[in-house]
Amino acid sequence: MKQTFNSVRPACDLASILSDEASLSVVDGRMEAFNKELIISVPCEGPDFCVPVVDFEFAMRKHEDPTIKITEKNVILDGTTRVRRLTERKSFKKPNIDTKPVADVLDLLATINDVFPFTEGDQARPWSFGARFDNKTVTATNSIMFCQAELDADAGFAGFTVSRTGLAYMRLRGAALKAWGIGDRGLLLEFDDGGWALVSKMAMEMPDAAVGLVNTINNWRDMQQVDEAYRNAFTSAGEWADDVLTVFPDRVYAGRLSTEHDEEVETNLGDREKAMFATKNLVTVMSVAKEIAFDRYPQPVPFVTERGSKGLIAGRSS
């Protein structure tokens, strides 16, 4: 039961204050939950029931792998915890969307892993909380950071932006993902256990101009290598910084309140004295970069990941 619940938990509306509306159901051998971004349905052994999802999720966190007993009024976990049953049971019909097998699920997951850190977007750009799929290209950007990855096999659709929530669910289920397809309602995912998930369409698609940002850089060569020590210097400096990290040729400088901190590290800045970046953005980039070219500052700084994905980060003016 615990493993099954973990598969539907991302669709649980845990922020709802209307517990009777935010429910989890087991109906006809399937456990199902929904929120505004996901509907998830997975096979589940056991009797039918419907419960307020906030209460059930809390109870499940308190029990390792509970036995479930159903009474007329309650769902009882391990004989000690009772969650009130709801009288109305919600069930969902699988959307009628044509799907095709995922050609290489491990490559897809590796691609998602590269772009996922860049899907923490900007509220003014709803599409920035996702990644756009264009056949073999996957793009994520918030207009300050950008990362574009290439799939080995064509996704089978183009111009569709998958929400961060949907990407996270694919990462959660991993190699269990077997097929997918898009329709008017969104992206349908099918899994090897008979489960399915519908990822809702985003309010806005990522614009073509954002996808084409990679074409603004002509030179992806002559970059500085990023080894673990170099990466750790930026991560450590980020822990000391408020809003801005300043990169000097021989150090990374961070400051917060009345505290200043330096991490000694050699960086190629060309003829620039320093380069400045938003802390969170730069730490995100350095977490995945294999090569980076700080010497291009104040122009957008290009980087390349271990997998070969191409990215950019815009700096701040001095």
Answer for the pair 115, 147: CB distance below 8 angstroms, yes or no: yes
In the sheet with 158-163, reading across from the earlier edge strand, the strands are 158-163, 130-134, 137-141, 145-150, 310-313, 301-305, 289-292, 224-225
Question: What is 101-175+205-212's CATH number?
Answer: 3.10.150.10
The 8-class DSSP code of residue 127 comes to G
- Within this chain, domains 2-84 and 224-313 share the same CATH topology: yes
| 0.75 exceeded by pTM | yes
Residues in the chain: 318
Give the pLDDT band (50/70/90) at residue 245. very high
Q: Cα–Cα distance between 32 and 11 in angstroms, integer?
A: 8
**Which of the four CATH numbers 3.10.150.10, 3.30.70.141, 1.10.1660.10, 3.40.50.720 does domain 224-313 have?**
3.10.150.10
Which of 172, 158, 157 lies closest to 40 in space, CA to CA? Answer: 172
Q: In angstroms, how far is CA 314 from the centroid of its own chain?
A: 21
Residue 313: count other Cβ atoms within 10 Å of its Cβ.
24
CA distance 9 to 20: 17
Q: How far apart are CA 236 and CA 229, in angstroms?
A: 10
Q: pLDDT tens, 231-240?
A: 999 999 999 9
pLDDT of residue 317: 79
In angstroms, rounded to a whole number, what is the distance separating the alpha carbons of residues 102 and 178?
6
pLDDT digits over 200-233, tens only? 999 899 999 999 999 888 889 999 999 999 999 9
Give CA separation, 143 vs 176, 213, 243, in Å. 33, 9, 17
| Distance (Å, whole) CA 301 – CA 293 | 6
| Residues 274, 261 contacting (CB under 8 angstroms) | no
Domain ranges for the chain, please list them: 2-84, 101-175+205-212, 224-313
Q: What is the pLDDT of residues 23-77, one digit of tens each?
A: 899 999 999 999 999 999 999 988 899 999 999 999 999 998 899 999 999 999 9
- Quote the tokens at residue 233: 């210097």
Q: Which fold has domain 2-84?
A: DNA Polymerase III; Chain A, domain 2 (3.10.150)
pLDDT of the residue at 201 = 94
Report d(CA 171, CA 108) in Å as an integer: 10
